[in-house]
Structure 1
């Protein structure tokens, strides 16, 4: 288990930054007249504590309102409003601190606070604006750079996962056993049913084309995904004939919704391989798409018993789960559940 640092980078930067600023002011005071070491220490400690408190309160406010997740243009105008507000806080606490320290440590100090404010307020406010602007820029630039690095890494992982899915899909389609069965099916139909043989060639070429030339997009409409599923099922029906039937229950209002490419096809392939092909009598596959509570639910149900000790979740479903996780930032899910004598593969993704 990795040990966390005793002091986080944030607190190290806070302490080092404000201590450095206070030491700079101490050096300025040392070069002037009437320098006192006791006052220098009081000013240094109070400055560090007060200005860390102001900036830390801002940090908590920004975190609570998730400003780190905002686009840069939305964040900039919020910063423009925050800088003068923090400058006012800086001015008030600085004036009160200076006035109290002078009253406590300097003998016969009689200046009224109103006069002290009038004399020093504007200069301290301008200095506070400058310091708060520097702090906010440094703080948000750090988090912006960190977010960009994280997003770049996630995008790279997502792109790699998509390319892997394309390779896996193509590999499955070029599987010698799959091709052998498909071509044998087409060959046997050439003399008995030439039209069906021609259709089989069209379907096989369309499936292979989808694996080779599917383009860079990782999301496609549900309608496009279902066209691919229908082509796959029709080709499988030519191979295993009446042993495979299927029902589609797709909410037409969802056809324009974007889904992960090859997601439904992966579920249907899994259903044919594990639920229909091993059964002498075959079976029916139920495919549905519906919406509920802001989520798109994609279900593929086939006959079978889910074997937990010998999971039906192979490389294809494992990769699909990873791609869902990366694409939807943990908001999507893939589950296999037993429903009586049937197995249901369920995908749940947020509606876009």
Structure 2
């Protein structure tokens, strides 16, 4: 079986690249001076690389074992300060030993005792080590804090989405029985008076059920599907109200592929019939207009009638407002206004989402 070789982890890439650049800096400083030797530069470069990587990798192992990356900055500070001092001491010791060993091996006549070399360079080397190790530890924990923040934000977003979907499902579960029970009541009134109309009404309700049940999991549907459902619903209601119900629907054909919330327009139509047309002896006409307004889909439903408290606080409209807020994050707008003394206008503005 052919084995798959994984590449270097991000940690090791950063270790090798970062410390290689630091080592090359000292190599460049040596190249600027006199008596530069390529061989000596390579030896110092490899030696520095080991001195940088060895203590920092050891610190990382200790940090992972003790879960220091899970601590808050205030909790981490008492650990980091001593760690920087210790790592600086380790860096100082290894660097002085490396420089003395290489120098004494190549030019023994130029180097005195190790104690003398240590005394002359330990402070500067230690301060350099503290500076380098401080930068490394700061970058190491800053990366972990950033990753933890990103992970937390993703988890919060996922939980918010789950809660939002659950709430939408709950609202949809409330809406469908409300819609179909009203339709069944309409059919009940036709069974004795108009058996033929009742059979046609059952066929229409079957289509409505099919559209709702098989498309019930969709958060959004095409506008043309919503309009088809409205036409079936209006025909179903006309069997009950007969000549008292008329309608006029005009839809911008360019908007038919726009995605809308299921039953959003149907709810407005149902509300107009229930609180407007059905309450009037002479009935009236439902006027539906759908078009584009800037970056929004604009839907208006006008009917004869008057605004009453029950019309604005019913289950259907309350449900619609909540679903619009959840689905469009407050970007959709819905309003009911009285025009003159005889007409009510429902206006719906929703962001345009086209089918991908």
**TM-score, structure 2 normalization:** 0.61
- Report what 1:322 is aligned to: 322
| Secondary structure in structure 2 of the residue aligned to 1:330 | coil
- Distance in 1 (alpha carbons) for counterparts of 2:141 and 2:226: 51
- Distance in 2 (alpha carbons) for counterparts of 1:203 and 1:219: 22
- Report what 2:194 is aligned to: 189
- Report what 2:146 is aligned to: 139
Tell me: CA distance 1:174–1:140, structure 2 relative to 1, closer, same or farther (3 Å): same
- Report what 2:279 is aligned to: 278
- Are 1:156 and 2:163 matched, yes or no? yes
- Distance in 2 (alpha carbons) for counterparts of 1:314 and 1:155: 27
On the 8 A contact 1:186/1:201 being kept in 2, the answer is no
Q: CA deviation at 1:351?
A: 1.3
Tell me: CA distance 1:13–1:343, structure 2 relative to 1, closer, same or farther (3 Å): farther
Q: CA deviation at 1:18?
A: 4.7
On the 8 A contact 1:158/1:323 being kept in 2, the answer is no
Counterparts of residues 271-350 of structure 1 (less than 5 Å): 271-307=272-308, 309-340=309-340, 341-350=342-351
Higher mean alpha-carbon deviation, 242-251 vs 341-350, is at 341-350
- Distance in 2 (alpha carbons) for counterparts of 1:335 and 1:327: 17
Tell me: CA distance 1:137–1:286, structure 2 relative to 1, closer, same or farther (3 Å): farther
Cα deviations across residues 104-160 of structure 1 (Å, max 9, x unaligned)? xxxxxxx9xxxx89x949x95686366325313422432432343333233333333
Cα deviations across residues 300-330 of structure 1 (Å, max 9, x unaligned)? 12122223x5553311211111111111112
- Report what 1:21 is aligned to: 80
Aligned length: 252
Q: CA deviation at 1:17?
A: 4.0
Q: CA deviation at 1:27?
A: 5.3
| Secondary structure in structure 2 of the residue aligned to 1:170 | helix
- Higher radius of gyration, 1 or 2: 2
On the 8 A contact 1:170/1:208 being kept in 2, the answer is no
On the 8 A contact 2:187/2:198 being kept in 1, the answer is no
On the 8 A contact 1:245/1:284 being kept in 2, the answer is yes
Q: CA deviation at 1:24?
A: 2.6
Q: CA deviation at 1:261?
A: 0.9
Q: CA deviation at 1:235?
A: 0.6
Tell me: CA distance 1:280–1:215, structure 2 relative to 1, closer, same or farther (3 Å): same
| Secondary structure in structure 2 of the residue aligned to 1:336 | strand
Query: RMSD value over aligned CA atoms?
Result: 3.3
- Report what 2:12 is aligned to: none
Cα deviations across residues 156-194 of structure 1 (Å, max 9, x unaligned)? 33333234324432233125xx5243233254334xxx4
On the 8 A contact 1:321/1:334 being kept in 2, the answer is yes
Tell me: CA distance 1:23–1:320, structure 2 relative to 1, closer, same or farther (3 Å): farther
Higher mean alpha-carbon deviation, 330-339 vs 13-22, is at 13-22
Q: CA deviation at 1:243?
A: 0.8
| Secondary structure in structure 2 of the residue aligned to 1:174 | helix
**TM-score, structure 1 normalization:** 0.62
On the 8 A contact 1:298/1:346 being kept in 2, the answer is yes
- Distance in 1 (alpha carbons) for counterparts of 2:204 and 2:262: 18
- Distance in 1 (alpha carbons) for counterparts of 2:316 and 2:299: 17
On the 8 A contact 1:338/1:344 being kept in 2, the answer is yes
User: Which stretches in structure 1 are left out of the alignment for 5+ residues?
Assistant: 1-11, 34-110
Higher mean alpha-carbon deviation, 338-347 vs 18-27, is at 18-27
On the 8 A contact 1:166/1:211 being kept in 2, the answer is no
On the 8 A contact 2:226/2:265 being kept in 1, the answer is yes
- Distance in 2 (alpha carbons) for counterparts of 1:319 and 1:150: 24
